[in-house]
Amino acid sequence: EKGGYPSFMEKEINDQPDAVAQTLLGRTNGEGVLTLDELRVDPSVLKSINRIIVLACGTSAYAGQVARYAIEHWCRIPTEVELSHEFRYRDPIVDERTLVVSISQSGETMDTLMAVRYAKEQGAVTVSICNTNGSTIPRESDAVLYTHAGPEIAVASTKAFLAQITATYLLGLYLAQLRGNLFQGQIKDILAELAKTPAKIARVLENAEQVKELARSMAETRTVLFLGRHVGYPVAMEGALKLKELAYIHAEGFAAGELKHGPIALIEEGQPVIVVVPSPRGRDSLHAKVVSNIQEVRARGAKTIVIAEEGDESVREHAEHVFYIPETSTLLAPLLATVPLQIFALELATAKGYDVDQPRNLAKSVTVE
């Protein structure tokens, strides 16, 4: 059942092109118009919402953070992301015009379930993004968008994460379509770009050996820092979480811009720093800013490992190792940039002899608060 792979996790990482394709399947009417028929919420209700709160825990919360960038950009609806267990205990402001989007692979995470119940009591409209058909959170929500990534067995979430991000893009585009924030042609273009991602993920997987080799050489590492900006920031945090969970290595993901506000003090000779670099074709000065962050840590002795877009030669001179991912738009890049980080954690944990499917102290679904 591991499909010939040594672990469920490795199988699930390799399932990702298919997982994303399954999430996208059947969501348009053939003319590029999103249908999302299963999302049984009255369109007039979705039109009237003035705020979105995304609730989730762990990796699913990082998917939520990626979603925020896309949803705010496409729909112009203020969007917050909050850990489910924090949300409930701070007397949050929620009403009938608040859309609460919960994200849960299992659909059974108690913290998220309780947060959704609370939001519902306060009158919010609740939509669940979930991978497990018929589980509790979707049953208790007003509507559900299933990710259809297939069962995820390994404790560390991989394919569900990419599928969740994909589902949030669909939700964001659907809202933009409904509310007229984007032209139909723009939506069509983004969907066409999304449709190309499974093949691009497959290309990242083909280059796994390069990442694995580096991971094996770093089995003795005590701490690894991850940096990213914009959507690269949650990707950095996800990379750090995978390394903690699987390899029991201290790892931290930072917003690259935050470096000089404290974390740069951690950098000493030989400290590995993994940097998620945005596309140089993107707007603003995101790319230049991240490149200068790489220079800053390198000047202080960091060993820099970089995930960058194919063709971006500017990073080479600042990095010990560069892993290239195919070109895509800035907002969709997490679907590609996450993959080398998953492989890195998997291989490093394997090199240390750990059970990657069942890391110590963890459960696949956390059904207690």
Residue 231 makes contact with ligand M6R by CB under 6 A: no
- Say how many Å lie between the first and final Cα of the chain, rounded: 32
How far is Cα 255 from Cα 325, in angstroms, rounded to an integer? Answer: 20
How far is Cα 217 from Cα 321, in angstroms, rounded to an integer? Answer: 12
Residue 65 makes contact with ligand M6R by CB under 6 A: no
Q: Give the binding range for ligand M6R (CB under 6 A) out of 22-30, 251-259, 347-355, 361-369.
A: 361-369
Q: Give the binding range for ligand M6R (CB under 6 A) out of 26-34, 190-198, 344-352, 360-368.
A: 360-368
Residue 167 makes contact with ligand M6R by CB under 6 A: no
Q: In the annotation, is 364 catalytic?
A: yes
Q: Give the binding range for ligand M6R (CB under 6 A) out of 153-161, 228-236, 289-297, 300-308.
A: 153-161
Count CB atoms within 10 A of the CB of residue 50: 10
Q: Name which of 180, 273, 271, 179 is nearest 226 in CA terms.
A: 273
Residue 156 makes contact with ligand M6R by CB under 6 A: yes
Minimum gap (Å) between residue 106 Cβ and ligand M6R: 3
How far is Cα 119 from Cα 100, in angstroms, rounded to an integer? Answer: 7
Instruction: Give me the residues paired with residue 79 across strands.
Output: 52
Determine the 3-state secondary structure of 188 from DSSP: helix
How far is Cα 233 from Cα 62, in angstroms, rounded to an integer? Answer: 9
Binding ligand M6R (rule: CB under 6 A), the pick from 141, 157, 279, 293 is: 157
Residue 366 makes contact with ligand M6R by CB under 6 A: yes
Longest C-alpha distance within the chain, in Å?
58
Residue 106 makes contact with ligand M6R by CB under 6 A: yes
Binding ligand M6R (rule: CB under 6 A), the pick from 112, 128, 221, 338 is: 112
Would you give the binding string for ligand M6R spanning residues 76-105, x where CB under 6 A is met? ----------------------------xx
Measured at CB, which residue is nearest to ligand M6R?
A: 58
Alpha helix ranges (H) inside the chain: 8-14, 16-24, 43-48, 58-75, 84-87, 110-121, 136-140, 159-179, 184-195, 197-206, 208-217, 232-247, 286-299, 334-351
Cβ neighbours of residue 183 closer than 8 Å, sequence gap 6 or more: none
Q: Name which of 151, 149, 173 is nearest 162 in CA terms.
A: 149
Residue whose CB is less far from ligand M6R, 16 or 104: 104
# residues near ligand M6R by CB under 6 A: 16
Structure tokens at 106: 């299992």
Residue 351 makes contact with ligand M6R by CB under 6 A: no
How far is Cα 63 from Cα 164, in angstroms, rounded to an integer? Answer: 6
Binding ligand M6R (rule: CB under 6 A), the pick from 11, 27, 52, 58 is: 58
Residue 59 makes contact with ligand M6R by CB under 6 A: yes
Minimum gap (Å) between residue 108 Cβ and ligand M6R: 7
Instruction: Give me the residues paired with residue 46 across strands.
Output: none
Q: Which residue numbers are catalytic?
A: 364
Residue ranges binding ligand M6R (CB under 6 A): 57-60, 104-106, 109, 112, 155-157, 245, 362, 365-366
